[in-house]
């Protein structure tokens, strides 16, 4: 399952698991209601993308050892990734973020767009592969190329977490693997 497992891992790195509370005392300077709505809208977009991702076809461990299936699967993998993230990007563009998070939101949207472009580029290359080694090399190169994007997502997550805390908004953001929600 190398391609779909890798895809699921990438999506997990981008997902900001948010859950908004209803505490009425804001400690920061922002509009708490607008921030709460933002986090609900973000959670909805993330949930939709996650559900679509979970619904993507999987290949079995036995199939993952078949050179023909893996080389055929590589192009589909990048195409599926691009489609899910392109729709996620559109969902992000439809959210009207409050001033406190607008810059971070815009950075995340641009990073998602960049990720989609990379996935489309790799899809075109994968469509031309004819060996397991080439397909694997593309997947590894894609992972390396995407690393900076996902590092940026993690940093933005930490900043969003702090903005929520500063404004008395209860959210559960898990910004790093293994981190407890807070």
| pLDDT (tens digit per residue) in 81-128 | 899 999 999 999 999 999 999 998 998 898 889 889 999 999 999 888
Determine the pLDDT at residue 30: 58
Low-confidence ranges of the chain (pLDDT < 50): 1-28, 177-182
Residues 6+ apart with CB under 8 A from 72: none
Is CATH 1.20.120 correct for 2-11+30-166? yes
Determine the pLDDT at residue 19: 29
Per-position b or e across 88-116, b if 16+ CB within 10 A of its CB: bbebbeebebbebbeebbeebbebbbbbb
């Amino acid at each position: 399952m190398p391609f779909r497992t890798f895809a699921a891992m990438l999506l997990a790195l981008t997902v900001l698991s948010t859950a908004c509370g209803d505490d009425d005392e804001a400690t920061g300077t922002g509009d708490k209601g607008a921030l709460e709505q933002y986090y609900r809208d973000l959670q909805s977009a993330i949930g939709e993308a996650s559900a679509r991702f979970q619904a993507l076809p999987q290949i079995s461990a036995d199939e993952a050892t078949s050179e023909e299936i893996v080389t055929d699967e590589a192009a589909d993998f990048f195409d599926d990734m691009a489609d899910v993230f392109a729709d996620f990007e559109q969902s992000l563009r439809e959210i009207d973020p409050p001033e406190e998070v607008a810059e971070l939101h815009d950075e995340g949207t641009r990073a998602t767009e960049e990720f989609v472009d990379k996935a489309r580029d790799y899809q075109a290359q994968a469509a031309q592969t004819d060996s397991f080694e080439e397909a694997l090399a593309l997947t590894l190169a894609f992972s390396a190329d995407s690393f900076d994007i996902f590092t940026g997502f993690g940093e933005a997550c930490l900043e969003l977490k702090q903005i929520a805390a500063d404004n008395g908004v209860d959210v559960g953001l898990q910004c790093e693997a293994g981190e407890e929600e807070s």
